[in-house]
């Protein structure tokens, strides 16, 4: 027998921890149909072997079943249309009142509900008492005490949940509303009888009473019935002197208040909790930013410079450089492998993919820190701290987290934009996140800084500055377009209590993000390194097609020469630079390697120290910086583009994002080169004029007035 159980609960109630504890590693992650809200499914442990199966579906974290956020709509549609056999409702025991609000709505659905009161260990530690039997009676469903973090009560919960799912017995909500509300609801129930499932009559009736638009549309009731219902609602509203939806909300909280009084014993006078004390300091108006800067510096310092750098160097130089590559080469030579095949395998695939995998340790260290910051609750505070600043250029504080993760890799960065509920804010965040120099762009910065600027210390910070400036300017410019006009959604976000995350959860989240990066190395990058290797090793030489001696005759050179003119106004219309920029689309870390190959040095160090001389010969400083800027801002690598496409969930928006990024990169790079050349060499030409025109246009877009909301263009 197969049963389907839904897991529902508030955000921050320990839902993910419980889901992991119940299902272990039997998970399947996907998307809810049509939206970018993540859907997780798993088989409950212990029920797979006996010819029985219990599938647990993790619903998004929600506060209620009203239809106002995407998460609520998704959860509601699932519960109504797919009718799971049971619902596990996880409740944060330290915050009963708010959590029970959702419970009162779930029990109306006519689906068996089992409530799992989480964090019971904390409740007891705080010296508070909760009478489980009474709670069960008051809310009208089974209640189990658990601690998802410590794994207490999980097995019991699983067994009971499966048992009630099999029994198929409906729950009757124990709560009743005020007399006149019940009267109206009873009338509505009569009206909808026959239109809906008998067990869900009450839920539909309550929703119709609230004038829920989505429910009204789905039922297709005739006008007479609707008018009849409206009469009932109006008379009740008159009696209660409030609007229908507020009446229901008020009634629910009243009822919850009486439950709490009945079964919950609080300590007499509560003092400030530890979380409140930490928040007093961490979100203090003077200390918040310095503390935040310090934390970020520490994370960045450890993961990029010290530990991360050490691990990356070891992977690149020792693991691949000294062990795998020489071993593979001699192994292939020993078995008499053809020269071209050895070349493909060693120089193409292993070196190419290896260069990418070299970043994995560094990235894992960064993701480990971020997972910890997320797990302990500080990440939510960061969004709060940054909100006022981000609001100034049209983004919300929640946009900061994707950008922070984007320092490591744009793919999980773009994916992290899912936590932003507002559609406009999310799209804008997706478009701008990859402007932040990711880990893979660092070698390009090091190459340009070393080769053309004598390793001047300002080059690397300036790259981050360019990235941040691009985000700020894009925020302002896009906000003034028709598509994004309007205020950013007001910032409302629950801040979880500070707590130490479990090792398992931190590692799991680290791994999930790291894995999305490794997957790209194994698929897209593998294919493209094979292509690049082929294109640079083969071509027409001496009238016939074959492996070429001189790379100038290769297919790659032909492609590069064909498109190089596009980049002439940017100062690097040389086919080698054009090819490097193209391979950068595959993966940014390829740019340095490509230069290495094209200048005939084969394997080069991460910062390309061997080719500094050659590069300095063919680039001017202005051209080099323009090349750097272009590569920082233009469309990111294929993997990140894939992530953008997935998160936008709309092909038009995807092309708009990519187009915007590329045009911006081209414009900025052109201005950098033309004006840089004017400043250093005094050359004035048509390009300089174009640059100045572009700057004026850019400034216009930046400083023109905001579009009036609800203004003329909307009315038209």
Partner 1 sequence: MPLTIAQIGQELPIRKIGGKEETRRFLEGLGFVIGGLVTVVSEMNGNLIVKVKDSRVAISKEMANKIMV
User: Contact residues for partner 1 (CB under 8 A)?
Assistant: 62-64, 66, 68-69, 94-98, 101-102, 245-246, 249-250, 253, 275-276, 279-280, 283-285, 288, 380-381, 383-385, 387-388, 391, 487, 490-497
According to DSSP, the β-strands at 27-31 and 38-43 are antiparallel
- Cβ distance to partner 1 smaller for residue 95 or 620: 95
CB of 201 to partner 1, least distance (A): 23
Instruction: Give the span between the Cα atoms of 32 and 564, in whole angstroms.
Output: 44
CB of 144 to partner 1, least distance (A): 21
CB of 600 to partner 1, least distance (A): 56
According to DSSP, the β-strands at 27-31 and 113-118 are unpaired
Residue 140 backbone class (left: φ over 0; alpha: ψ -120 to 50; beta: rest)? left
* Burial readout 26-37 (b: 16 or more C-beta within 10 A, e: otherwise): eeeeeebeeebb
- Cβ distance to partner 1 smaller for residue 395 or 643: 395
- Cβ distance to partner 1 smaller for residue 288 or 360: 288
CB of 706 to partner 1, least distance (A): 16
Three-class DSSP category at 709: coil
Q: For the chain, state the CA radius of gyration.
A: 30
Instruction: Give the span between the Cα atoms of 343 and 351, in whole angstroms.
Output: 10
CB of 62 to partner 1, least distance (A): 8
Rounded to 10°, the helix 526-537/555-564 angle is 90
- Cβ distance to partner 1 smaller for residue 96 or 171: 96
Q: Where are the alpha helices (DSSP H) in 301-407?
A: 307-313, 325-334, 339-342, 351-357, 360-376, 378-391, 400-406
Q: How far is CA 658 from CA 105, 351, 649, in A?
A: 43, 29, 14
β-bridge mates for residue 43, sequence order = 55
CB of 61 to partner 1, least distance (A): 11
- Cβ distance to partner 1 smaller for residue 218 or 249: 249
CA angle at 177 for the pair 175 and 178, rounded to the nearest 5°: 145
3-state secondary structure 505-525: HHHHHHHHHHHHHHHHHHHHH
- Cβ distance to partner 1 smaller for residue 46 or 486: 486
- Cβ distance to partner 1 smaller for residue 245 or 313: 245
- Cβ distance to partner 1 smaller for residue 30 or 490: 490
CB of 39 to partner 1, least distance (A): 21
- Cβ distance to partner 1 smaller for residue 69 or 218: 69
CB-based contacts of 82, cutoff 8 Å, min separation 6:
4
Instruction: Give the span between the Cα atoms of 211 and 232, in whole angstroms.
Output: 12
CB of 379 to partner 1, least distance (A): 12
- Cβ distance to partner 1 smaller for residue 304 or 497: 497
CB of 247 to partner 1, least distance (A): 11
- Cβ distance to partner 1 smaller for residue 354 or 496: 496
Instruction: Give the span between the Cα atoms of 360 and 308, in whole angstroms.
Output: 9
CB of 712 to partner 1, least distance (A): 22
CB of 209 to partner 1, least distance (A): 15
Instruction: Give the span between the Cα atoms of 111 and 66, in whole angstroms.
Output: 17
CB of 239 to partner 1, least distance (A): 18
Closest by Cα among 326, 334, 401 to 371: 401
β-bridge mates for residue 8, sequence order = 89
β-bridge mates for residue 54, sequence order = 3
- Cβ distance to partner 1 smaller for residue 380 or 634: 380
CB of 94 to partner 1, least distance (A): 6
- Cβ distance to partner 1 smaller for residue 167 or 273: 273
The secondary element (H helix, E strand) that includes residue 104 is helix 96-106
Instruction: Give the span between the Cα atoms of 138 and 202, in whole angstroms.
Output: 18
**Tokens 């909100």 sit at which residue?**
387
Would you tell me how many other CB atoms lie within 10 Å of the CB of residue 387?
A: 19
Residue 429: DSSP 8-state: H
- Cβ distance to partner 1 smaller for residue 168 or 257: 257
DSSP 683-696: ---HHHHHHHHHHH
CB-based contacts of 76, cutoff 8 Å, min separation 6:
65, 67
Instruction: Give the span between the Cα atoms of 353 and 527, in whole angstroms.
Output: 10
CB of 495 to partner 1, least distance (A): 4
């Amino acid at each position: 027998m197969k049963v389907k159980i839904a897991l529902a609960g508030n955000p921050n109630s320990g839902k993910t921890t419980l889901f992991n504890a119940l299902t272990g590693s039997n998970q399947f992650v996907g998307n809810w149909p049509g939206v970018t809200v993540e859907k997780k499914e798993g088989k409950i442990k212990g029920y797979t072997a006996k010819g029985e199966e219990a599938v647990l579906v993790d619903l998004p974290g929600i506060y209620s079943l009203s239809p106002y956020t995407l998460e609520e709509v998704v959860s509601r549609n699932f519960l109504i249309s797919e009718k799971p056999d049971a619902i596990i409702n996880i409740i944060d025991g330290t915050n009963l009142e708010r959590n029970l609000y959702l419970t009162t709505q779930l029990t109306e659905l006519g689906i068996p509900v089992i409530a799992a009161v989480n964090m019971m260990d904390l409740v007891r530690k705080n010296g508070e008492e909760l009478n489980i039997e009474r709670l069960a009676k008051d809310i009208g469903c089974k209640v189990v005490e658990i601690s998802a973090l410590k794994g207490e009560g999980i097995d019991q919960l699983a067994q009971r949940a499966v048992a009630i799912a099999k029994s198929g017995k409906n729950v009757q909500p124990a709560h009743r509303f005020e007399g006149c509300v019940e009267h109206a609801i009873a009338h509505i129930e009569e009206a909808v009888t026959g239109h809906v499932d008998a067990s869900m009559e009450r839920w539909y009736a309550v929703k119709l009473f609230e004038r829920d638009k989505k429910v009204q549309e789905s039922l297709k009731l005739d006008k007479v019935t609707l008018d009849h219902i409206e009469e009932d609602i109006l008379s009740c509203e008159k009696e209660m002197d409030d609007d229908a939806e507020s009446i229901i909300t008020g009634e629910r909280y009243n009822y919850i208040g009486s439950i709490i009084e009945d079964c919950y014993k609080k300590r007499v006078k509560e003092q400030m909790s530890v979380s409140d004390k930490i928040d007093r300091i961490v979100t203090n108006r003077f200390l918040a930013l310095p503390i935040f800067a310090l934390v970020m510096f520490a994370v960045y310092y450890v993961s990029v410079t010290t530990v991360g750098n050490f691990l990356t160097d070891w992977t690149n130089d020792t693991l691949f450089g000294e062990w795998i590559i020489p071993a593979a080469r001699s192994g292939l030579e020993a078995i008499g492998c053809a020269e071209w095949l050895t070349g493909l395998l060693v120089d193409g695939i292993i070196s190419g993919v290896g260069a990418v995998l070299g970043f994995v340790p560094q990235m894992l260290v960064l993701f480990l820190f971020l997972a910890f910051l997320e797990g302990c609750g500080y990440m939510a505070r960061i969004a709060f701290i940054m909100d006022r600043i981000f609001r100034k250029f049209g983004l919300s504080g929640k946009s900061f987290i994707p950008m922070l993760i984007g320092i490591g890799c744009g793919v999980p960065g773009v994916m992290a934009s899912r936590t932003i509920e507002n559609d406009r804010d999310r799209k804008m965040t997706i478009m701008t996140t990859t402007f932040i120099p990711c880990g893979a762009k660092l070698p390009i910065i090091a190459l340009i800084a070393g080769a053309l600027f004598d390793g001047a210390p300002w080059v690397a910070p300036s790259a981050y500055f360019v990235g941040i400036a691009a985000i700020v300017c894009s925020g302002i410019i896009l906000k003034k377009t028709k598509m994004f006009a309007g205020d950013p959604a007001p910032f409302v976000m629950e801040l979880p209590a500070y707590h130490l995350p479990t090792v398992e959860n931190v590692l799991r989240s680290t791994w999930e993000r790291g894995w999305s990066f490794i997957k790209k190395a194994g698929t897209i990058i593998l294919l493209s390194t094979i292509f690049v290797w082929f294109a640079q090793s083969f071509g027409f030489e001496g009238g016939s097609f074959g492996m070429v001696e001189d790379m100038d005759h290769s297919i790659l050179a032909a492609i590069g020469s064909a498109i190089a003119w596009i980049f002439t106004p940017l100062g690097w219309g040389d086919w080698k630079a054009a090819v490097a920029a193209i391979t950068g689309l595959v993966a940014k870390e390829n740019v340095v390697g490509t230069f290495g190959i094209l200048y005939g040095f084969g394997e080069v160090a991460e910062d390309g120290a061997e080719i500094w001389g050659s590069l300095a010969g063919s680039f001017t400083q202005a051209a080099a910086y323009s090349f750097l800027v272009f590569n920082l801002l233009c469309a990111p690598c294929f993997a990140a583009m894939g992530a953008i496409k997935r998160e936008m969930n709309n092909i038009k928006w995807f092309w708009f994002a990519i187009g915007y990024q590329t045009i911006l990169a081209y414009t900025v790079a052109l201005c950098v080169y033309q004006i840089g050349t004017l400043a250093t060499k005094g050359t004035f030409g048509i390009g300089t004029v174009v640059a100045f025109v572009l700057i004026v246009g850019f400034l216009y877009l930046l400083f023109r007035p905001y579009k009036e909301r609800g203004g003329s263009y909307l009315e038209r």
